[in-house]
A and B are shown apart, each in its own frame.
Chain A
């Protein structure tokens, strides 16, 4: 009797996540279609001119894909950071990876190496990652809380370095600030292909460890006794998350709150297992970012744009405030 109810519950969970994935996929397709149809230039889809065709295929479509992929990468990295740190408020900002990647990118801007910004961002992200890991490890073991503190230190140091570079380059300061606010103006098919490959690779690397990720949410002793190599898994998840963040920052600048807000909404919908949380976060991140970019590039007249980071941070901030007020009791309960 008990076994039957267990099977029924598993089935309903499976169908539940299946329905959620399907729904989110439909929403993603809808928002993508709207994003392709709307923009600074009105395109006549039934009688496209040559210029309109060029705009559609080499500007708008790559941009929509790029926004979706960056959204997915940031949401995915947010989930992984939250598993590694055992903290639902962890994301690429709190772990210092975002700021150290931005530091690398700003160095490239300062040196006038605009073409290799993603490489510098990647290098910065990896340096930040190694620094955090070295600071937080004691005799080969990493404590999540120490890692979080080390992340804050690295983030503060990177931010200070960025400020110093802004100070040194007075004339370029507005370019640096605008770049840091994030955007997808320079989207291209090549970048879409590279980012798509990185996300697919990361997903395949983590896919096997869903159960282990759920287990490391308990204490380390329980996880180790369950046969999980906690340190190895943390290292791997941290590396993948840092890689995703570095590529996102390199291609689109700093875009806040996505890694925090998307996994939170998915959890609010009662999808807490890694096998549900990660695929749904990938889809949700893409949906959220495409929508925000659509707003950023259509809200102003005459082809003007807003940096997308302003929109995500505003939406994210308001939503987080709502969460804090509405779910105060539950948050205290978890404490």
Chain B
């Protein structure tokens, strides 16, 4: 036996075991797979998302500014940013059949409550949640969207432009106290987790309602007691044709200066929020 082995080695053809060859083949396949994965993932980052459905109207103007409008294939029925795209229902109840038919590779949704992760698993599609609560978070989300859509340059430009806008804010001698009405019936006001609080603060004011909620169902007597210098009431789908606050009997003692604003301009966490800051800052300056 021993002599046999020696003779083979001496011929220069050592006998390899099955395990040895198995390992070599395995290593080769692993390296190939790794190389291909890295290659396709690189390709994927730059060209991954070409069919986008936007289920949160506030995100549409951002996509338009990022020059990714041609990638948008579906929006909600109230979203008028893009023409000639499919309307897929409402942001809370999108039509799943329509969504499937559009074969999106990315869905931009407002929150996990509006579009749960289970939906994305069912549709086998990636979801980007556009749910900023502050102006800074809006900028972060814009950058993230820019990365995802290979629009880094456009995102940087947009962020820079929005920051420039904020630099136009005029400093105030005294910060006015504010309460922002979301709806009159029932009386709901903006809480500290609303984008509106961020807008008010950047504009130089103070939101007197500090409850850690987006919207707060509040007692009218609390509003009177807080005695804001400025009472802002929005008009829009959430507050259709509200009565002027001073005409409401329970607000007859409200001494605040009342300002009416457009819900679409103030209560949506998108690009518009930066214009809202300037508008509010202008009002604060005039009052001062």
Contacts and interface: CB of A to CB of B under 8 A. Distances in A.
A is bound by B: yes
A55 B224 contact: yes
B222 A40 contact: yes
B93 to A, nearest CB: 7
Contacts of A174: 183, 215, 238
Contact of B249 (A179, A183, A188, A304): A188
A297 B221 CA distance: 11
Interface string B197-216: 00000000000011100011
Given A112-B241, A172-B240, A39 B221 contact: yes
A216 interface: no
B242 interface: yes
Contacts of B239: 175
Interface string A300-317: 001111110000000000
Contact of A58 (B223, B226, B253): B253
Contact of B185 (A167, A186, A305): A186
A186 to B, nearest CB: 6
A120 to B, nearest CB: 13
A171 B225 contact: no
Interface string A30-45: 0000000001110000
Contacts of B217: 178, 304-307
Interface of B is mostly: loop
A112 B241 CA distance: 5
Q: Interface centre among B187, B216, B249, by most A CB within 10 Å?
A: B249
A167 B93 contact: yes
A41 B236 CA distance: 30
A312 B250 CA distance: 24
Chain A interface size, as a band, is 35 or more
Contacts of B236: 171
Given A114-B241, A175-B239, A179-B186, A170 B218 contact: no
A175 B252 contact: no
A185 interface: yes
Nearest to B235: A112
B105 to A, nearest CB: 25
A54 interface: yes
B186 A307 contact: yes
A51 B186 CA distance: 22
A25 interface: no
B78 interface: yes
Given A170-B92, A171-B78, A179-B185, A302 B211 contact: yes
A169 B250 contact: no
Contacts of A302: 209-211, 216, 222
Contacts of A117: 185
A303 B238 contact: no
A126 to B, nearest CB: 22
Most chain-B Cβ atoms within 10 A of its Cβ — which of A113, A173, A302?
Answer: A302
A167 B250 CA distance: 31
Contact of A297 (B219, B242, B252): B219
B185 A58 contact: no
A60 interface: yes
A175 B186 contact: yes
Contacts of B90: 167, 170
Contacts of A115: 243
A329 to B, nearest CB: 43
B85 to A, nearest CB: 18
Given A51-B253, A109-B185, A171 B221 contact: no
A54 B253 contact: yes
Contacts of B188: 175, 178
A153 interface: no
A187 interface: yes
Nearest to B183: A175
Contacts of B221: 39-41, 55, 59-60, 303
A169 B236 CA distance: 11
Given A41-B225, A54-B252, A171-B237, 9 more contacts: A39-B221, A41-B221, A55-B224, A59-B250, A62-B249, A110-B240, A170-B78, A187-B250, A303-B223
Top 8 nearest A-B pairs (CB, nearest first) are A303-B222, A112-B240, A171-B237, A54-B253, A112-B241, A40-B219, A188-B249, A40-B222
19 contacts: A40-B218, A40-B225, A55-B225, A55-B253, A59-B224, A114-B184, A167-B90, A170-B90, A170-B91, A172-B237, A175-B188, A178-B183, A189-B249, A297-B219, A302-B222, A303-B219, A303-B223, A303-B225, A305-B217
